[in-house]
Amino acid sequence: MKTQYTVVLAALTGIGIGAAAVQGLHAQAKPPAYAVVEIDVTNADAFTKEYAPIAGKVITAAGGKYLARGGKNVAIEGDPPKRITIIQFESLEKAQALFASSDYREGRKTGDKYAKFRILAVEGLQ
């Protein structure tokens, strides 16, 4: 009988230690981030042909995942932007690093010829 109590106690101790470790790892994980890009396109054809492919490659190479990319948008309150793009990143730091990178800045020179940009980033929930 004493052996059974020892085994049960050891199992419960292992479960408790495992649960604490998982909780600790979860607390260390950074929440995802979302970049919301408002774009006022002045030359749609050139924007689509020249800038969009460059931006797409740079953003996906940096780990960005497009969730919305220029689809139909509706204003619930206020004036709607011309175009909205939403990109998911592993963390806020990764989003900031992409938009500060030389690859993005170089490609953005082309984008600036055909559009005006407003870029916001927000941390998501864990």
pLDDT digits (tens, 9 = 90+) for 33-91: 999 999 999 999 999 999 999 999 999 999 999 999 988 998 899 988 789 999 999 99
Across the beta sheet with 33-41, the strand order is 65-69, 83-89, 33-41, 115-123
Band of residue 2 on the pLDDT scale cut at 50, 70, 90: low
Tell me if 121 sits within 8 A of 91, measured CB to CB.
no
Mean local confidence (pLDDT), 2-7: 63
State what percent of residues in the chain have pLDDT above 90: 67
According to the model, what pLDDT value does residue 26 have? 52
Residue 13 confidence (pLDDT): 61
| Helix runs in the chain, H state only | 2-28, 44-46, 52-61, 92-100, 102-114
User: Whole-angstrom Cα distance, residue 104 to residue 70?
Assistant: 19
Structure tokens of 91?
């963390």
Tracing tokens 């050891």 back to the chain, one arrives at: 10
The residues spanned by each domain of the chain are: 1-29, 33-123
pLDDT at 110: 96
The domain defined by 33-123 folds into Alpha-Beta Plaits (3.30.70)
CA neighbours within 13 Å on the CB side: how many for 67? 10
pLDDT value at position 108?
96
